[in-house]
Amino acid sequence: MAAGKESPRQKMINMMYLVLTAMLALQISNAILQKFQLLNNSLERANSSANETNEKSVGAIKKEIEKPGGEKYADVLRRANDVRKLTAEMDSYIGSLKQEVINAGGGFDAETGGVKNPSEEEKVAILMVGANKNGKGYELKKKLNEYVIALQKLGDPSVKMSNLAIDASEDPALAKTDVTTRKKDFSELYFAQTPVPAALAVLSQKQSEVRRLEAQTLEYLAKQVGIQEIKFDEIFAVVIPDARAVVAGQKYHAEIAIGAYSKSITPRISINGSSIPVKDGKGIYELTAQGGEYDKNGKLTRSFRASVSYPAPDGSLKTVDKEESYTVLQPSVQIESASLPPLYFKCANEIQTSSPGLGALYSPTFGGSGAEFIPGGGGKVTVVPNSAQVTMNVSNGGSVLKSFPFRVRRVPKPDVYFTNQSGAKLNEKGGETAASLRVINAVAAADENFKTTNPKDAAFRVAEYQVFLARGSKPLGSVVSNGGPANISSLAQQAQAGDRYVIEIKRVERRNFKGEIESVEIGSSSITTINLK
């Protein structure tokens, strides 16, 4: 294989060569013979197409020389014609060998259109290998490699062409085959024990290699006179929608096309005259959209001019321009609540924001004063106030969309009440029966509204309280609880109608959203009296 970039057609031919090499190592069946015939037909069609393309290349060189001042390239045209002549002779020689191989197989069958005896191997071997290695395969090898030497003198001196006919020991594709195969020379490898269709496919493949080297050389010569074909060798899908967002019930319309670029050239792409980076043949244009005078729907149209410059086949620089426009939406943001919610001091106040105008582009950041702002993703933010006033700034893409002022409230005091051993609330007004009360439990319940808006901060508990049994002005005893129910059985044994339990709340605590414990001031509600009857 020669160095240099390969066309898609040549890549296909190279793949056929690998398949051909593998198939030659198989036991030949009728099915495989048919595959060889199909392979040969494909190669012959590709060779015919390559010949037409190469002829056009010479014609293009001739046209350039006919232009004013083109006479200085006369030697280039001479070399191009020499390339075509050498190739035609080589192709004709291989064509004559193919006819001899067909004759070895009995010639063509007029009824089937195929070779009469496609499985013939012995006559092919006699023709191409010979009894004493004097078959025409050896002459073919010599002519193929002499063709490469002659072409090398006419083409690019910096590109070393590889021989077209090599022995098995020189072929990388056969490096891992058995020792017997690796010892075979070119003729033995491709024409010994080889049926007619396989031998024809080998010869057609060599013709394709000849055409490839011819094309490579003519391409080099064309460049000498300023002709450089732009080969679009990278293809990608392009989707051009009328709009990125549609309302339910509205039609979505888009044009789908194929885009392509050449890896061999880098176009110059500019926006409004300023160059932009180019990657994989595509320009990367990025800017921060600027606002201005929006219409009644909050939209603003802006436009830019894109220019793409590239080298044309004649060596000149061609430029394609296109005007493009885009819509800037007026930035907006809202809090998903009918009114601004109150914030509670040092609590996790969760707020959901949204921006209908930005839609999927809405990726906000939060800042401001008077609080810590903890982003939660999807437009959510947790605001933890540390002062009486909070201002929250909502930004998107580095631009402030809106500022929201909030009032800050103190955490509502919990409702403290008491229950008996069965969990029923004690009757503070009507009193309790002295003989039945054995356990008193103090409960601190969060304000219902606060519990709804700030559930992570609404965990209250009575951490310490003391229960006194009093008769008149005289205390008879007390029980202290450090949280949880207080067992007052020792007091109940002394209690009688007319006495009272005096409960003093000493400490109430709240666990905040961080898991930290804070003391809660409950003021005058710290003492409660339960009359006994």
| Phi/psi of residue 100, nearest 5 degrees | -65, -35
Structure confidence at residue 27 (pLDDT):
46
Q: What is the pLDDT of residues 214-230, one digit of tens each?
A: 999 998 888 888 765 55
Mapped onto helix, strand or coil, the DSSP state of residue 71 is helix
pTM of the full structure:
0.44
Structure confidence at residue 35 (pLDDT):
60
How many helices and strands in the chain, by DSSP H and E? 10, 24
DSSP per-residue string spanning 160-206: PPPPSS--GGG-GGGTTS-HHHHT--HHHHHHTT--HHHHHHHHHHH
Rounded distance between C-alpha atoms, residue 298 and residue 296, angstroms: 6
Spans of the chain, pLDDT less than 50: 1-4, 24-28
Structure confidence at residue 26 (pLDDT):
47
Residue found under tokens 């219409």: 295
Contact 54, 214 (CB under 8 A): yes
Can you name the residues that pair with 180 across neighbouring β-strands?
A: none
Structure confidence at residue 233 (pLDDT):
63
Structure confidence at residue 25 (pLDDT):
46
The closest alpha carbon to 60, from 314, 340, 235, belongs to 314
Structure confidence at residue 16 (pLDDT):
56
Report the largest interatomic distance among the alpha carbons of the chain, rounded to a whole angstrom. Answer: 138
Structure confidence at residue 312 (pLDDT):
64
Tokens of 242: 């009328």
Rounded distance between C-alpha atoms, residue 161 and residue 9, angstroms: 19
Sign of CA dihedral 490, 493, 499, 501: positive
Q: What is the pLDDT of residues 222-256, one digit of tens each?
A: 888 876 555 666 776 766 666 655 556 557 667 77
Structure confidence at residue 383 (pLDDT):
95
Contact 14, 7 (CB under 8 A): no
The four Cα atoms 211, 214, 218, 221 give a dihedral, to 10 degrees, of 170
